[in-house]
Amino acid sequence: MNNILGFLLLILLFCFLIGPFILTLFNIINLFKNNKIKPNLIDSLTFIFGIILTALFYRIKSFKDYQIALRIGLGEIVYHAPIASWSFPTIITICILAIISYMLIRIKKLDLPPLIIVISMAGNLIGLIFSVVYIIQIFKNISEIHSGIFYFTIFPINYILCSVRAEIEIIKKYKEKQESGEVYNNKFLNGCNIFLMKIDIESWPIISIIVVIPLLIIIISILVLFGQRPDEIVRAFTETSDWTLSQMYSPPSVTYDAHYLCTVSLRGHKNIVKPLRYGIRRNERIVVNRQLCIANAFEQLIEEKAPKFHHFVRYIYDKYGYPLSRHINTAWQADITYILMKPLEWIFLIVLYLFDKKPENRIAIQYIPKN
């Protein structure tokens, strides 16, 4: 059973970490090679895994918008969201348009009316431009290997490779069919076909660029009716912080020392862990709640009254508490930690009220600078 689980874990690790790079290599080869390597399979895997993994990585990172102070552990590397969340309707619409356009010209190829082909090429071009801008946005922090930010560029890079190949292929195929003199029953489509046939095939990308403008105007007009701003696609990248195109400044990050269970528990949901205020620990600004203040006040008290016992307690906690705290990575885990610490909190509070003349004063001044 353990061997099966280990094997499945190895496969998942391969799909997540190695698979995207192998697909990228195949897409590079297929762009320049005449005899493509399983192009339909590679394209399908690229888009399926690309969409799923990008969404999953984005979820794992739990990105926050620029106006929210990040809550981080000591030594962590975190960033605000590279795309403003209020711009998601516009961004998702652009992505859907790009993917559908790509699928039309990649799967249907010439089995489409000429005007639809040009519109699809324009939609594909919009996706290509968006991918380039997104890569530029991410590029500022791509060198932080441990943060895994470079994984967010893999799918846009692959989309660029696939879309360029699709555009080249459809132009070549239409050029081969140019002499066939196909006639459409619909007068409007037939007129478009005659117009396009008279134009040099190499000029089609220029036509698709021209079509991009009215296509974008139509999309933006529809999105405005649903509350999006006309320049939302620009604001999506500029109303952020920490990235290449960011124009906003975020409040200072709040540090959570991952050595301490009470501090880690503050990563939980606010209505459960009940944060009170900011404090200072080791010259870092942190969030504190009553549980954390009580625990620190208790430690301070036993350090004053029974230093040997304090040394023993600190030894036991450092040996067992710190390894445990490293496994608390989600808000729900932090909530559970906070609840499990409640009995200890009550014990600490009883000790404070038994042996300190002004226990609430001691609790209140925790993590407040002496000056």
**pLDDT tens-digit map of 247-298:** 887 766 665 555 455 666 666 777 888 888 878 776 777 778 888 888 888 8
- Chain-centroid distance of CA 81 in Å reads 7
Residue 81 or residue 7, greater confidence: 81
Number of folded domains in the chain? 2
Query: Does 158 fall in a domain?
Result: yes
Query: Does 371 fall in a domain?
Result: no
Q: Single out the residue in 180, 213, 238 at which a domain terminates.
A: 238
* pLDDT score of 161 more than 90: yes
Q: Single out the residue in 238, 271, 302 at which a domain terminates.
A: 238
- 196 pLDDT band (50/70/90 cuts)? low
One domain for residues 108 and 205: yes
Query: Does 245 fall in a domain?
Result: no
pLDDT for the residue 25: 92
One domain for residues 124 and 267: no
Q: What is the mean pLDDT of residues 341-369?
A: 87
One domain for residues 153 and 234: yes
Q: What is the 3-state secondary structure (H, E, C) of the chain?
A: CHHHHHHHHHHHHHHHHHHHHHHHHHHHHHHHCCCCCCHHHHHHHHHHHHHHHHHHHHHHHCCCCCCCCCEEECCCCCCCCCCCHHHHHHHHHHHHHHHHHHHHHHHHCCCCCHHHHHHHHHHHHHHHHHHHHHHHHHHCCCCCHHHCHHHHHHHHHHHHHHHHHHHHHHHHHHHHHHHHCCCCCCHHHHHHHHHHHHCCHHHHHHHHHHHHHHHHHHHHHHHHHCCCCCCHHHHHHHCCCCCCCCCCCCCCCEEECCCCHHHHHHHCCHHHHCEEEEEEECCEEEEEEHHHHHHHHHHHHHHHHCHHHHHHHHHHHHHHHHHHHCCCCCHHHHHHHHHHCHHHHHHHHHHHHHHCCCHHHHHHCCCCCCC
Query: Does 351 fall in a domain?
Result: yes
Q: Do 190 and 183 meet the contact criterion of CB atoms below 8 Å apart?
A: yes
Of 266, 289, 292, whose CA–CA distance to 277 is shortest?
289
Query: Does 269 fall in a domain?
Result: yes
One domain for residues 73 and 177: yes
Burial of 101 (0-12, 13-18, 19+ CB in 10 A): buried
One domain for residues 86 and 167: yes
| d(C-alpha 324, C-alpha 336), whole Å | 13
Neighbours of 103 (CB within 10 A): 15
One domain for residues 46 and 94: yes
| Longest CA span, the chain | 99
251: left (phi over 0), alpha (psi -120 to 50) or beta: beta
Query: Does 5 fall in a domain?
Result: no
| d(C-alpha 161, C-alpha 199), whole Å | 26
One domain for residues 178 and 310: no
Written as six digits, the tokens of 175 are: 């050029």
| d(C-alpha 134, C-alpha 154), whole Å | 11
Query: Does 170 fall in a domain?
Result: yes
Of 103, 142, 107, 101, whose CA–CA distance to 125 is shortest?
101
Query: Does 12 fall in a domain?
Result: no
Residue 12 or residue 84, greater confidence: 84
Report the alpha-carbon angle 66-70-76, nearest 5.
125
Q: Minimum mean pLDDT among 93-102, 171-180, 239-248, 278-287: which range?
A: 171-180
Residue-wise pLDDT for 41-91, tens only, equals: 999 899 988 888 888 888 777 788 887 767 665 455 678 889 999 999 999
One domain for residues 50 and 164: yes
Ranked by mean pLDDT, the top range of 193-207, 224-238, 306-320, 328-342 is 224-238
Q: What is the mean pLDDT of residues 24-36?
A: 88
* pLDDT score of 104 more than 80: yes
One domain for residues 233 and 262: no
- Positive or negative torsion for Cα 261, 267, 272, 273: positive
DSSP label of 288: E
pLDDT for the residue 95: 92
Domain span holding position 40: 21-238
Q: Minimum mean pLDDT among 28-32, 183-187, 334-338: which range?
A: 183-187
Written as six digits, the tokens of 344 are: 């200890």
Buried b (16+ CB within 10 A) or exposed e, 219-228: bbeebeeeeb
| d(C-alpha 317, C-alpha 260), whole Å | 9
Q: Single out the residue in 183, 204, 238 at which a domain terminates.
A: 238
Mean pLDDT of the residues in the chain? 79
pLDDT for the residue 249: 77
One domain for residues 276 and 300: yes
Extended beta strands in the chain, E state? 71-73, 254-256, 275-281, 284-289
Q: Do 269 and 331 meet the contact criterion of CB atoms below 8 Å apart?
A: yes
